[in-house]
């Protein structure tokens, strides 16, 4: 039985057509070939793009006409928030070196006009709602985590400690990996948004929540 996905089979077809030497001419020595990325957020050219593995993030942002970024989400909503380092290499090893994972092959850009903490609130609420409600970590843990993140956004100084505690409590205890992914997403977001958190604990950052991180049918 062969397990794979459409992109894997497509890459195998390209490899067979080009041969190993020509195929290896794209990408890096350790990770030859290209990959598909779903690009969105504060960019002028959103959509699915194919890039050589190892392409610097700055090249992708420039090609997509992205606004100056405060952060990027890599790997989807079970991925991680990362600094928008233009030298970040978009490969499995490169993203792992930055503390993230390629995951679902999603790159979402947040610019400086939106409240990053408010974006985290929106997505955490959505993750809590996307539960099969079959185990405690999903049924109780993720809604509690969403309330904690919202509490930080409203200036509650206890929210951060409770959020990190609830993230640790749900991690690894669910019937599936959804609580783990949500906890990872929230922890990395809280780490990346330390300046936003400090501003909200002082009364707010003054920026609107523009919905640059899409949820459900939003863009």
The answer, yes or no, to whether residue 69 has pLDDT greater than 70, is yes
The ranges of the chain annotated as CATH 3.10.20.600 are 18-111
2-6, 134-138, 213-217: the lowest-pLDDT one: 2-6
Q: Which residue has the higher pLDDT, 81 or 30?
A: 81
Tell me the whole-structure pTM to 2 decimals. 0.90
Q: Tell me the sheet residues that pair with 148.
A: none
The predicted structure's pLDDT at residue 219? 42
DSSP assignment of 97-145, as one string?
Answer: HTT---TTTEEEEEETTS-HHHHHHHHHHHHHHS----SHIIIIIHHHH
Rounded CA separation 49/36 (Å): 6
The predicted structure's pLDDT at residue 16? 87
Q: Which fold has domain 116-201?
A: de novo design (two linked rop proteins) (1.20.1440)
Question: Residues in the chain, how many?
Answer: 219
According to DSSP, the β-strands at 47-52 and 34-41 are antiparallel
DSSP assignment of 150-198, as one string?
Answer: HHHHTT-TTHHHHHHHHHHHHTT-SSSSHHHHHHHHHHHHHHHTHHHHH
Rounded CA separation 99/194 (Å): 17
The ranges of the chain annotated as CATH 1.20.1440.230 are 116-201
Q: Which fold has domain 18-111?
A: Ubiquitin-like (UB roll) (3.10.20)
Cβ 39 vs Cβ 46: under 8 Å: yes
Element (H, E) at 10: helix 6-18
Computed over its alpha carbons, how large is the radius of gyration of the chain?
19
pLDDT tens for 94-107 read: 999 999 998 889 99
The predicted structure's pLDDT at residue 54? 94
pLDDT band with cut points at 50, 70 and 90 for residue 20: confident
């Amino acid at each position: 039985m062969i397990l794979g996905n459409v992109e894997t089979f497509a890459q195998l077809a390209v490899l067979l057509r080009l041969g190993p030497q020509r195929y290896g001419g794209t990408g890096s020595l350790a990770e030859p070939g290209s990959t598909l990325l779903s690009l969105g957020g504060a960019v002028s050219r959103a959509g699915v793009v194919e890039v050589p593995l190892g392409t610097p993030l700055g090249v992708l942002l420039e090609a997509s006409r992205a606004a100056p970024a405060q952060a990027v989400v890599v790997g989807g909503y079970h991925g991680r928030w990362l600094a928008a380092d233009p030298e970040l290499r978009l490969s499995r090893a490169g993203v792992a070196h930055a503390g993230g994972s390629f995951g679902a092959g999603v790159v979402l850009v947040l610019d400086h006009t939106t409240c990053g903490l408010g974006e985290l609130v929106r997505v955490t609420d959505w993750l809590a709602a996307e539960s099969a409600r079959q185990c405690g970590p999903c049924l109780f843990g993720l809604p509690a985590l969403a309330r904690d993140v919202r509490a930080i956004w409203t200036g509650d100084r206890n929210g951060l400690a409770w959020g990190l505690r609830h993230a640790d409590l749900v991690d690894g205890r669910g019937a599936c990996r959804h609580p783990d992914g949500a906890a990872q997403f929230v922890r990395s977001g809280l780490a990346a948004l330390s300046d936003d958190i400090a501003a909200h604990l002082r009364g707010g950052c003054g920026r609107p929540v523009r919905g640059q991180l899409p949820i459900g049918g939003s863009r």
